[in-house]
Structure 1
Amino acid sequence: MDTATQTEVTCFHCGENLPAQPIPYDDKNFCCAGCKTVYQVLNQHGLCDYYDRTENPGINQRVQVRKDKFAFLENADIRQKLVQFSDGDQTQVIFYLPQMHCASCLWLLEHLYKMDEGISHSRVDFPKKEVSVLFNEKKISLRKVAEILTSIGYEPHISLNDLGKKPRNLFNRERIYRLGVAGFCFGNIMMMSFPEYVGLDGVKEAYDLTPVFRYLNLLLSLPVLFYSASEFFISGWGGLKNRFLNIDAPIALAILITFSRSVYEIFSGTGAGYLDSMSGIVFFMLIGRILQDRTQQSLSFDRDYTSYFPIAVNKLMDGKEVPVPLPELRNGDSIIIHSHEIIPADGILVRGEAAIDYSFVTGESVPVEKKISEIIYAGGRQMAGKIELLLVKDVSQSYLTNLWNKESMRSEDSNQDSWVHPVSRYFTVVLFTLTAIAGIYWWINDPTKMWPAITTALIVACPCTLLLSNSFTNGHVIRAFDRAGMYVRNASVVERLVKITTVVFDKTGTLTDGRQFDINYKGDALNEQLRQLLASVAAQTQHPLSKAVLQYLEVKPQPLHNVKEHAGRGVEAWVNDQYIKLGSPMFVWGQDHFDRNTSVVAWKLDDGRQGLFLLKNHYRKGLDKMLKKLLHNKKAAVLSGDNDAEKINMLRLLGKTADVKFNQAPAEKLAYIETLKQNGEFVLMVGDGLNDAGALKVANVGIAVTDDVNNFSPGCDAILDAGKLDKLHEFIKMAHRGRAVVIGSFIISILYNIVGLSIAFQGMMSPLVAAILMPSSSISIIIITWLGIETGRKKLGPTKKMQRKH
């Protein structure tokens, strides 16, 4: 499609389809006033290069941000807790911008200084979706900075969790520094050991520099020993103090023995030592651990309600709306909640029409209508106009926070140590036993070979090959998961996936897609004229059910006049002297006797024609195939908060003998998981909303499914892109593949150790052989693990690109 044609049917800013009456400006068409406004702002400041970098890079602006939304940033206490640095003139603040998605975003956000002379500099951290802004407080305020970002389509997400919070150090910078030091020293030690490798150390000319190189190697090894390897010593010693021999203990011992033996050989003039091997061990170990940390950069797995709640709301004081931080709200306060704002505490509706989206709490995306004097629980989002609430509980005592805090305890076995640790203990015990036997043998028969045999054996038989294999394999598995759309907390999650025996699913929002519906129409025949009329009325509201009906009708809506929307209830309009109502059965007919699990959109014309659309949640693609594969060797169950209207479908998907439970409260879901575990099952819980939070946390592995990985999700072990749910069995299979690669590498390591020890125990191992064997074995393990994982990665589906269209 050429550009001219595309411009006629899509919005120039965001790329969404244009309405019947687009908004023209500057020879361009826009879908809404918001998109047009953003273009005007960018054009005014000479920033229209934004559109040249990515086609239709903007975010849809149909939901307008109210004028005083960021007035709370003028509160001195809030401002002080949000800024990262201020010297009275220059101030730095970091905002989280979930809308950031492409190269055009990055370019525009780093040119903020063109929007206002008070902004000195802005720097984007794309993986974290954060922008750091440096501005002059004498020229521009913090509130104004937030409003400028909002005006160009990047409204900052500022939550209660941000109060007093400094930037998360998502990179382990200290480990990066240690790796750099180890790499530098390792490379130089290898280079200066080259004469030893090729046998030139025996040249006895006056200009022989071999002793100098050996002392330089010793000098270079000191930073590796005392700095780079420090985390192995700290971890190993901590385990010993707790009477636990973790895998870092023998690693630390091998490093220490290697260094000690090297010092002895260098000062005694009997050899070059093993400093290259020592620094190589540390270098490769650190690489493995950094690979495991890689996917922690842009996601947060330990989230609570403070990450979801706003930082402040408007409180009614003497008839005026005053921004007040959430911690200062008390029982009995009257607060104002505007459209699309979160309700922070339980309250009674005093004024206004309430249509509450409880999708995060219940998983159900259809707004719930509330009447005056009814209680509205925290965690819902108001989708209609402005409402007034009288708080009946403090923020910390609301239903949402009590639910979260009650279910925040994780079972003790959900974060187990790696299986490598017990294996390494046996490995170490066997190694020490054999070394002691060899030492005693040589002490009796030939004392001159005792220490060479002991030290060489401990160096050659270092269990680092096992750790390297496990670290690199899990690192590659995590990277493969990341690229395919599943983001795991750490390597132990990969290892626990291998043990899964039972998979428990939530239904609404997990197995079903809350944004799509299966529609069944009943009523008077829909001719082309009537379809056109209904589509035009449905297009007048942003309600998710109206959008579904509009999509079902498959006709282009026309502009209407004399339209009145009743938020959360429906729309009435006068079209060509005809009166039409479209909305809930109660709004259209004054009665509602339909099944609660079926959403209904009714319509009625003043000539007596009428009908209704029955909408049910749409099951996600590929579900049948995925469940069939999963049920080959695992049990499956469904826990749903809805009624049992979908029971037949669930049993069809899971089998007649499957355990399918409906009307399950959050506490009942948690108890069910606990019962399974007590019966010896190793449980994977797959859910999405807060009602699954307890079950996700108490399960051996908890996976939160989300349609946008940057959105808020419950605390969990992994976050799965909802579009990849049909690949769940492949993710589990990849974890099994990782275990097989580790076991295969371990077998190779055992063979290597058998050969190495057989030579070392005879006291025949030379420093040259040890120096070559140690790094070469590590490199071979890296190659084996990489090949083993890469050959199976394609089954997870195509690699996800960083750019996401919103």
Structure 2
Amino acid sequence: MENCYHCGDVLPTPSILLDQKEFCCQGCANVYSLLNSNSLKDFYQFEKTPGIKPNKGRSDKFQFLDIPEIRARYIQYEDEKIARVKLSLPSIHCSSCIYLLENLSKINNQVLTSQVHFAKKEATIVFDRNAISLSEIADLLQFIGYEPDFGRKTEAKGIQKSFLLKIGLAGFAFGSIMLWSAPDYFGITLDNLSFRNFTAYLSFIVSLPVFLYSANEYYLSAYKAVRSRSINLDVPITLGILALYAQSTYQIFTQQGPGYMDSFAGFIFFLLIGKWFQNRTYQSLSFDRDYSSYFPVAIHRISEKGSEIIPIEQLKEGDRIQVRNEEIIPCDSILVSDEAQLDFSFVTGESALVTKKKGDLIYAGGKLIGMSIELAVKSETNRSHLTQLWNETKDKKESNTLERYQDRISRYFLLILIMVAIVAGITWAFIDPSKIMTVIVSILIVACPCALALSSPFTLGNTLSVLGKNGLYLKNTTVVEALSEITTIIFDKTGTLTDPMAHQVHFSDENMTEELWHVLRELSSHSTHPLSKLIHQQLKDKNHVIKLTHFIEHKGKGIQATYNEKSYQLGSSAFVGAVSSSTENGTVFFAQDGKVIQEIHIKSAFRASVSSVLGQLTDKRIFVLSGDDEKDLPELISLGFHADQCFFKQEPKDKAAFIAERQKLGEKVLMLGDGLNDVGALGTANVGIALSEDMFRFTPSSDAILDAKHVHLLARFFQVSTYAKVVLKVCLGFSITYNLIGLSFAISASLSPIVAAILMPISSITVVFLSSSLIHFKYWRGLE
């Protein structure tokens, strides 16, 4: 039997021939031609017949998406040039789907980028809004076989009700057939053959809806897998269902006995119960949503009482908020200030700055570049939206090796399982033919790769939970293993090793004019640099508001702005062009038109925990990279650092280059910095951790964010990540052991299909419990 080269369906007569390949319809041939003409032939290398038959659909099917009110529901971001949308694509099923969908830009160059979330069957697409409409994007996806589902949320409750109905139907059939089979259970022989046949036929009738309706999800899933020349868990389950039902039906209609309809109905019932419980358990520990609930995001809300700090969940429509330079816009808002420069690369991948004017809509996820601005909240939001954006940013770092190993095991598991079932069936044909069906069905059911598949997400997910509760918020689960492999740690100094809350600020000239004090306070308020924040805090009583213009921040050097046609600078001596004999640590210079009018001496105070942390990290190579001069070197040495491990006057590019050199030597590097001045270094390191002194830092380039209050737990975090790998291996070991023991009982005909159906979900649930308990029990009191 020949199959379509694209979708795998049986070829009709006549078929369509193109490039010596046969297709079942013109649609499949058209998609093949489209892929071929756009250099996407690799689509067919990942799987055999990976495609989906394109829907013919009406050309105006998605015209409703051009209605502004409806379109706005799905657009996550847009400006004058581009738009970003996230669509549900239920037809995603294999690696070829990911390859095709992430190369949409080669099919239509108006699509700029596309990223697939395989587990959620979603695609995030950025497109040229002036060249292609949202309805045309939907048409394109439908044409290549991935029709978007715009009603998934409204249908979710209906799907849940349908699933519960299937469980109820299977449970009713199971109970009824068991009742009618009671005489057989107790060894009571019925003399009335007609009544016995009647109950057998009744069992068949009651089990028919279970076979056709309750179990239909397994058939559909198995069919899709076979059609795409692949194999999934539902293939052996479906084979077991068909074999058990066929044998029972044959025995009933040949009047050889009542068959195994009670086992069949119970088998489906317990399968569905196990699936329901697995889904409920997984939802309660859904780490791609759950760990974001530990992530602290707060904002300055402007009220009649002044500025107050609140979690972003408390924002209401109409609230006024303040966002400072380099901070992320937390929710869709209207610009109240006159103008703002924004970087939306976090959302769109495009690095060009976008200018917004007063009254413009600003989407969540944009990063402010320049003076602080005031916004009016347009729509409420929560931290999970920002965390989702964080997790969607492209990560070129290596993925989890343990997960890759686990994937390889799962990939060949089912194929080996079917071969074992065939060999066992042939063997029992010579030993006891009456047990062939029991053995085959039990083998197909009891062995389950689910436990293997769940080991990694639940173990690593529980680790994210433990770390999050103790102040370390990881971007995703791949960071856990990367953290356990770290050999070298690089610290930034200012704001990382030093404690901003314990610094002392002294001004060289206390007799500046009030106007200059107000300029200094306002200038420092627009920066999130640790020293700027200290100066602003020291001048909190100078609360007269003035308006600066032409604000620019030079990372690691200083800031400048204009007031009353005069230029003001705040930063290092080199930045303002100052010549000073000051030997005071942390001197910041305030200049007017290039002339220094104030020297601000900030005495560094190192965190109390630095020395103890170093004592716990003796197995790591330690370095300090600082943008300051060497004046703090004696104190660093007294804390436990070595002079040859401390490097000063390091610009951001120097830090990134230093990390790259260490990596060339085979070292796994962790960078701990402030997240704003160390963006390049954080991105270059194997693990980049941004230290957050407050709740306003949201750093897309980092792999993790560490609450400064918990920096003393750094060594413990390494221990947790290493322990997580041990737990993962334990869970994988349990999964493999369970399957080997279960198979041995099934092969020896010591296991009935109904018991196998009960054991299969129990194995998965046990892995969930095992991973959760091993992680949380060890750290249930926290890491202190």
- TM-score for both structures, normalised by structure 1: 0.52
Answer whether contact 1:584 1:602 (CA < 8 A) is retained.
Answer: yes
Residue number in structure 2 paired with 1:420: 406
Measured in 2, the distance between the counterparts of 1:300 and 1:550 equals 23
1:614 corresponds to which letter in structure 2? H
Q: 1:243-258 alignment to 2 at 5 Å?
A: 251-258=233-240
Distance 1:771 1:449, change over 3 A: same
Partner of 1:293: 288
Q: Please name the residue that 1:193 is paired with.
A: 174
**Paired residues of 1:414 and 1:700 also in contact (CA < 8 A):** no
Are the counterparts in 1 of residues 691 and 706 from structure 2 also a CA contact under 8 Å? yes
Q: Check the 8 A contact 1:312/1:323 in 2, yes or no.
A: no
Per the alignment, do residues 755 and 484 of structure 1 end up closer, same or farther by CA in structure 2, a change over 3 Å counting?
same
Q: CA deviation at 1:185?
A: 3.6
State how far apart, in whole Å, the 2-side matches of 1:191 and 1:620 are. Answer: 66
Whole-angstrom CA distance in 2 between matches of 1:703 and 1:485: 12
Quote the residue 2:218 is aligned against.
Answer: 225
Identical aligned residues as a percent: 26
Equivalent position to 1:381, from 349, 358, 370:
370
Given residue 747 of structure 2, which amino acid in structure 1 is its aligned partner? F
> Which residue in the other structure is 1:599 paired with?
587
User: Does the 8 Å contact 2:218/2:234 carry over to 1?
Assistant: no
Match of 1:704 in 2: 690
Deviation sequence 1:211-231 (CA, Å, 0-9, x none): 34422322343453267x58x
Tell me, in whole angstroms, the C-alpha distance in 2 between the residues paired with 1:618 and 1:200. Answer: 81
Structure 2: how far apart are the matches of 1:172 and 1:679? 50
Decide which of 246, 252, 261 is 1:264's aligned counterpart: 246
Q: Equivalent of 1:452, from 438, 444, 450?
A: 438
Superposed, 1:311-322 pairs within 5 Å as none
SS at structure 1 position matched to 2:485: coil
Structural mapping, 1:336-415, within 5 Å = 381-382=370-371, 410-411=396-397
Q: Measure how far apart 1:773 and its partner are.
A: 1.7
Compute the displacement of 1:713 (Å): 1.4
What are the residue-to-residue correspondences of 1:329-340 with 2, within 5 Å? none
1:211 counterpart letter in structure 2: F
Task: Give yes or no for contact 2:438–2:752 (8 Å, CA) kept in 1.
Answer: no
In structure 1, C-alpha distance between the alignment counterparts of 2:654 and 2:570, rounded to whole Å: 34
SS at match of 2:473: strand
Residue identity in the other structure for 1:219: L
Task: Find out whether 1:216 has 2:178 as its counterpart.
Answer: no
Match for 1:294: what amino acid?
R
What corresponds to 1:463 in structure 2?
449
* Structure 2 letter corresponding to 1:732: F
Alignment counterpart, residue 484 of structure 2, candidates 489, 493, 498: 498
Residues 613, 453 of structure 1: alpha-carbon distance in 2 compared, 3 angstrom cutoff = same
Q: CA RMSD in A?
A: 6.3
Letter in 2 for 1:225: Y
Letter in 2 for 1:292: F
Could you tell me how far 1:450 is from its partner in structure 2? 4.0
- Residue matched to 1:744: 730
Distance across 2 between alignment mates of 1:217 and 1:211: 10
User: Aligned AA for 2:449?
Assistant: P
**CA pair 295-523 structure 1, distance change in 2 beyond 3 A:** same
* Offset of residue 282 of structure 1: 4.5
Are residues 183 and 663 of structure 1, via their aligned partners in 2, closer, same or farther at CA, if it must alter by over 3 Å? Answer: farther
SS at match of 2:443: helix
Matches of 1:778 and 1:309, distance apart in 2 = 38
Matched with 1:779 is 765
Q: How many residues align?
A: 547
**C-alpha distance in 2, partners of 1:258/1:771?**
10
> Cα distance, 1:615 vs. partner?
0.6
Paired with 2:690 and 2:417, the residues of 1 have a C-alpha distance of: 43
Q: What does residue range 154-193 of structure 1 map to in structure 2 within 5 Å? A: 185-186=166-167, 189-190=170-171, 192-193=173-174
TM-aligned CA distance change 1:535 to 1:322, over 3 Å:
closer
Q: 1:692 corresponds to which letter in structure 2? A: D
Tell me the equivalent position of 2:601.
614
Match of 2:612 in 1: 625
Give the partner amino acid of 1:756.
G
The residue aligned with 1:275 is: 268
CA distance, structure 1, for counterparts of residue 576 and residue 292 of structure 2: 50
C-alpha change, 1:593 and 1:488, in structure 2 (3 Å) is same
- The alpha-carbon deviation at position 711 of structure 1 amounts to 4.5
1:465 maps to amino acid: A
Q: 1:250 to 1:552 in 2, by over 3 A?
A: same
Q: Separation in 1 of the partners of 2:572 and 2:669?
A: 42
Q: Distance in 2 between matches of 1:713 and 1:770?
A: 49
Q: Is the Cα contact below 8 Å between 1:411 and 1:698 reproduced in 2?
A: no
Output one character per residue of 1:523-546: Cα deviation in whole Å (capped at 9) or x when no partner.
Answer: 89x9xxx9xx99999997673668
Q: Distance in 1 between matches of 2:742 and 2:690?
A: 47
Equivalent position of 1:438 in the other structure: 424
Q: Which residue of 1 aligns with 2:741?
A: 755
1:76-105 Cα distance to aligned partner (Å, 9 max, x none): xxxxxxxx99968999689999xxxxxxxx
Q: Helix, strand or coil: the match of 2:233?
A: helix
Change in 2 beyond 3 A, CA 1:538/1:724: farther
CA distance in 2, matches of 1:487, 1:788: 20
Which residues in structure 2 correspond to 1:605-754 (within 5 Å)?
614-616=601-603, 618-620=605-607, 622-629=609-616, 631-653=617-639, 655-656=641-642, 659-689=645-675, 692-707=678-693, 711-754=697-740
Secondary structure of the residue that 1:487 maps to in structure 2?
strand
* Gap regions ≥5 residues in structure 2: 1-63, 78-125, 135-148, 185-194, 253-258, 298-325, 345-353, 361-365, 374-392, 526-530, 552-558, 562-568, 592-596
Shift in alpha-carbon separation, 1:626–1:425, aligned structure 2, 3 A: farther
SS at match of 1:763: coil
Partner of 1:52: none
Paired letter, 1:634: K
Quote the offset at 1:761 in angstroms: 0.7
Q: Deviations over 1:573-623 (max 9, x none)?
A: xxxxxxxxx9999999996344697134799xxxxxx99752145545644
Specify the code of the residue in structure 1 equivalent to 2:504: I
CA contact (8 A) 2:675 2:702 kept: no
Partner of 2:321: none
Q: CA deviation at 1:722?
A: 3.6
Gaps of 5+ in 1: 1-83, 98-160, 242-248, 315-320, 328-334, 342-359, 362-378, 385-406, 571-581, 604-609, 799-806
**Contact 2:442/2:746 (8 A) holds in 1:** yes
CA drift at 1:730? 3.3
Q: Secondary structure at the match of 2:729?
A: helix
**Counterpart-to-counterpart distance in 1, 2:212 and 2:638:** 70
- The 3 A distance-change label for structure 1 pair 457 and 635 is farther
**Within-5 A mapping of 1:92-107:** none
Find the aligned partners of 1:263 and 1:453 in 2 and give their Cα distance. Answer: 15
Aligned in 2, Cα 1:251/1:338: closer, same or farther, shift over 3 Å?
Answer: closer
What is the rounded CA distance, in whole Å, between the counterparts of 1:792 and 1:435 in structure 2?
40
Aligned residue for 2:289, secondary structure, equals: helix
In structure 1, the partner of 2:51 is: none
**Within 1, Cα distance between the matches of 2:341 and 2:538?**
44
- Aligned pairs for 1:16-27 within 5 A: none
Which deviations, in whole Å up to 9, do the C-alpha atoms of 1:20-76 show, x marking residues without a partner? xxxxxxxxxxxxxxxxxxxxxxxxxxxxxxxxxxxxxxxxxxxxxxxxxxxxxxxxx
Q: How far off its partner does 1:265 sit?
A: 4.5
Partner-residue secondary structure (3-state), 1:637: strand
**CA 1:625–1:584: 2 relative to 1, 3 Å:** closer
Task: Give the distance between the partners of 2:778 and 2:370, measured in 1 at CA.
Answer: 42
Q: Contact 1:189–1:275 (CA<8 Å) still a contact in 2?
A: yes
| Alignment CA distance shift 1:325-1:791 (3 Å) | closer
